[in-house]
Amino acid sequence: MPLYEYYCEPCNGIFETIRPMREASLPVPCPDCNRDASRIMSSFNAFTFREGYPRRLPDKGTYWHMGKEVKKRAKRMHWYDHPELTPPKPKPRPTKGDIQAAKDREAARIKDLRHRDRWGVDERGFRTVKAKKHKPKRRTPAP
């Protein structure tokens, strides 16, 4: 049941009462002078629960990390670094040895493809159209 605020004019008092919504507009007796008091509009603290945590309304659906707004909560963190706030580390430049190894691998791959093409086998070991032998159709003797 909601909590409502009421104002009593004769004693100039404000008090709160828990009442059903259907009875909210009806006058309530004042606890001090026992006269009817009318309901007044008051501020309220609106919040909702999202992912188990209370959130104030309006809720933009974002989170806060170390005073900065982020879209998602961090699943894993290293120290206090949030993945959205930490810039990614640059990739290390390849060394001369890495470049030469990549060139050697590519040359070996091309050599292997040429060998396979010569024998009619693709990269996965299946025969290609070139390698399939076509049998000539049998001719039936004419009557």
Query: Tens digit of pLDDT for each residue in 64-78?
Result: 788 888 888 888 877
Provide long-range contacts, Cβ within 8 A and 24+ apart, for 111-114. none
| pLDDT tier at 130, thresholds 50, 70, 90 | low
* pLDDT recorded at residue 118: 85
For 7-41, what is each residue's pLDDT tens digit? 999 999 999 999 998 998 899 999 999 999 999 98
- Residue among 33, 73, 121, 72 at smallest CA distance from 6: 33
* pLDDT recorded at residue 112: 94
Neighbours of 37 (CB within 10 A): 24
Question: In 3-state terms, the chain is what percent helix, strand and coil (to 5)?
Answer: 20, 25, 55
Query: Could you tell me what percent of the chain has a pLDDT over 90?
Result: 41
- Residue 93, pLDDT > 70, answer yes
The most distant pair of C-alpha atoms in the chain lies apart, rounded to whole Å, by: 126
Q: What is the pTM of this model?
A: 0.35
* pLDDT recorded at residue 55: 72
Residue given tokens 């693709």 in the structure block? 122
